[in-house]
Amino acid sequence: MAVKTLDDLLADGVEGRGVLVRSDLNVPLDDEGHITDPGRIIASVPTLKALSDAGAKVVVAAHLGRPKDGPDPKLSLAPVAAALGEQLGRHVQLAGDVVGTDALARAEGLTDGDVLLLENIRFDPRETSKDEAERLALAKGLVELVGGPDGSGGAFVSDGFGVVHRKQASVYDVATLLPHYAGTLVAAEVKVLEQLTTSSERPYAVVLGGSKVSDKLAVIENLASKADSLIIGGGMCFTFLAAQGVPVGTSLLQEEMIDTCKKLLEDYGDVIHLPVDIVVAEKFAADATPETVDADRIPEGKMGLDIGPGSVERFTTLLSNARTVFWNGPMGVFEFPSFAAGTKGVAEAIIGATAKGGFSVVGGGDSAAAVRQLGLPEDGFSHISTGGGASLEYLEGKELPGIAILES
């Protein structure tokens, strides 16, 4: 990646300079508004701390969720500001708006080393607008917070890998207006993904889960010809099973994708591996009674909620000698203890491969959350990504706008 990095910016000197950082602080919240997985906040700290310690006036832009009609109190970054302050060991101000009077007043009052978090960037609809002029107008407002009306002296650091596949104002357009740099997190993520796509040691295993085949279709098509084994679990496995003519009961099924799955099995049947047994239940609930059945014997009226122990054993064998592993998506409903064993078992197999010198990447999103929720050691994997969608699009071979603009 031929871009300037945070180290380049720090070498130029940032003391007293305004620096806008696009972070990915899109953490999950429970019904009371408490953060349930602070992984992305923790991952954002190194870049922010380095800038603050070097005396920059740091302004952070980030989003939370998908607010539909402007500001939504439930999606305020207030709990994130508090958690970020704890991680940084310093007070983090939260602006009451995005680029309005409060944000501008607070930005003007920053002293060297201060950190200001803007309110949820998506509260301003221009952030995600398809209209370039609207996005650029918001970008200019962001630039003014760190460099005055003309942006002189300001800089932009892209450190939200989870959003670099989006052409949005705080991701793409600001980089057209300010000197731009890749933060620690973005630089590390791209380096890892380059390794996955260009110099993968073999055997190369890909483990895909999650609910929908359509979400992973492009990455399946792109990696099936490159991987030695492509393991499929989670809700998406039932569409593949249905493509084999197997009954799937009331399991999650994308009927419109059955023919596509048939073609994939015809073309890559020697690479694609499906579960041999399934943990089923009568309902989607934590207190549902689990029952393990053969993958081709799912009873009518029951749904698959996890892969079974036989599948874990089979997948563990496939993974045991892997030198490179990419994992994206849980094997089952890991949030329910009765249906978490499949995800945990496969994760432990990946940890085992890593311990033997393999290179493993957890592709963000639910997989990263599962690692933490199931009490697995994060250092058991070579890299845990913060950007599920961005990771997948990179591996599909797509250009990521937020990375491409940094190269300009």
- The answer on whether 364 is annotated among ligand-binding residues is yes
Give the whole-angstrom CA distance, residue 207 versus residue 230.
6
- E-only strand ranges, 169-210: 180-182, 204-208
Q: Is 160 one of the annotated active-site residues of the chain?
A: no
- The answer on whether 283 is annotated among ligand-binding residues is no
For the chain, the C-alpha Rg in angstroms (whole number) is 22
> Which H or E element spans position 57?
strand 57-61
- The answer on whether 365 is annotated among ligand-binding residues is yes
- The answer on whether 165 is annotated among ligand-binding residues is no
Neighbouring C-beta atoms of residue 364, cutoff 10 Å: 25
* Catalytic annotation, pick one of 17, 22, 40, 106: 40
Neighbouring C-beta atoms of residue 369, cutoff 10 Å: 19
Find, among 118, 128, 136, the residue nearest to 59 by Cα.
Answer: 118
- The answer on whether 24 is annotated among ligand-binding residues is yes
* Catalytic annotation, pick one of 140, 212, 372, 398: 212
- The answer on whether 402 is annotated among ligand-binding residues is no
Note whether 45 and 25 are within 8 A (CB). no
* Catalytic annotation, pick one of 234, 249, 363, 365: 365
- The answer on whether 266 is annotated among ligand-binding residues is no
Note whether 48 and 56 are within 8 A (CB). no
- The answer on whether 408 is annotated among ligand-binding residues is no
- The answer on whether 63 is annotated among ligand-binding residues is yes
Give the whole-angstrom CA distance, residue 234 versus residue 1.
33
- The answer on whether 77 is annotated among ligand-binding residues is no
Q: Is 212 one of the annotated active-site residues of the chain?
A: yes
Find, among 220, 229, 157, the residue nearest to 402 by Cα.
Answer: 157
Q: Is 151 one of the annotated active-site residues of the chain?
A: no
* Catalytic annotation, pick one of 96, 140, 389, 398: 389
- The answer on whether 64 is annotated among ligand-binding residues is yes
Give the whole-angstrom CA distance, residue 51 versus residue 154.
13
Q: Is 40 one of the annotated active-site residues of the chain?
A: yes
Instruction: Phi first, then psi: give them for residue 350, nearest 5 degrees.
Output: -65, -40
Neighbour-count burial of 374, counting CB atoms closer than 10 A to its CB (0-12 exposed, 13-18 middle, 19+ buried): middle
- The answer on whether 66 is annotated among ligand-binding residues is yes
- The answer on whether 335 is annotated among ligand-binding residues is yes
- The answer on whether 304 is annotated among ligand-binding residues is yes
- The answer on whether 25 is annotated among ligand-binding residues is yes
Query: For 282-325, what is the HEC assignment?
Result: CCCCCCCCCEEEECCCCCCCCEEEEECHHHHHHHHHHHCCCCEE
Size (the chain), residues: 408
> Where is the binding site, in residues?
24-26, 40, 63-66, 122, 166, 216, 304, 335, 364-367
Q: List the catalytic residues.
A: 40, 212, 365, 389
> Where is the binding site for substrate, in residues?
24-26, 40, 63-66, 122, 166
> Where is the binding site for ATP, in residues?
216, 304, 335, 364-367
